[in-house]
Amino acid sequence: MTRRIGVCSLAVLLLGGCAMGVRHNFDQRSLQLGVATSATVAVGTLDHRPYVLEGKKDPTFVGMSRGGFGNPFDVTTKSGNPLASDFTSAIVGSLEAAGVNAKGVELKHTLSQDQAAAALRVAGAQRSVLIRLVEWKSDAMVNTSLAYDLELRVLDAGGAVLLSKPQQGKEVLGSADVFTPGGASQVEPRFRRMLEVLFQAPDVVKALQP
């Protein structure tokens, strides 16, 4: 019995150790966005998650990885950049790989939506994509879940909104993989697929045409 308790205690400690220092890679530049356009495109992501705006979490925060007792440890971006920057880099890099003349615009989370739209307009592109993050938080222990709330807007050169497409939900992505603590093996593909579905939508593809 004593030996069993010792083994269990060790397992809990190992789980706790694996839960610390977890990072997710969102700077993925090979997304299949399905966009072919001759228009120049500016892209920016605005992080309006409440806990980031209130200063309770850093902009690099992306979720929680729980130890053996359920105690949470912050998960951050692998790049060390704000989550919003990773979203923008992934989109711009993937558009460029597909032959689109795209450029990223860094948007501070302190900006309002109107200020963010103005910053994109200054970039001088024919079309702009504004991603507003209201929620993005994973939670991994035995299972991995992801809560998300974001909106994709396509703007014309003058800043008028051509299209608004929201994406909201809370999903259980499956059992956590012990070899990739923090749910990275579930969250990263879900991020990829979510952006691909958003951009491949016919109305988004059409709105990005000059």
Q: What share of the chain in percent tops pLDDT 90?
A: 83
In the block, which residue shows the tokens 């993937």?
94
Average pLDDT over the chain, rounded to an integer: 91
pLDDT, residue 69, reads: 77
Average the pLDDT over 43-64 and give the result: 98
Domain spans in the chain, listed from the N-terminal domain onward: 2-207
Q: How confident is the model at residue 45 (pLDDT cuts 50, 70, 90)?
A: very high
Quick: pLDDT tens for 146-178. Answer: 999 999 999 999 999 999 999 999 999 998 777
Q: Read off the pLDDT band of 7 (50, 70, 90).
A: very low
Q: Tell me: the pLDDT tens digits for 115-134?
A: 999 999 999 999 999 999 99
- What's the pLDDT band for 18 if we cut at 50, 70, 90? low
Q: What is the pLDDT of residues 75-120, one digit of tens each?
A: 999 999 999 999 999 999 999 999 999 999 999 999 999 999 999 9
Phi-psi region of 37 (alpha: psi -120 to 50; beta: other; left: phi over 0): beta
Note the pLDDT of residue 13. 40
Structure tokens belonging to residue 65: 């990885």
Tell me the average pLDDT across 42-49: 98
So what CATH class is 2-207? alpha beta
Is the pLDDT at 204 greater than 90? The verdict is: yes
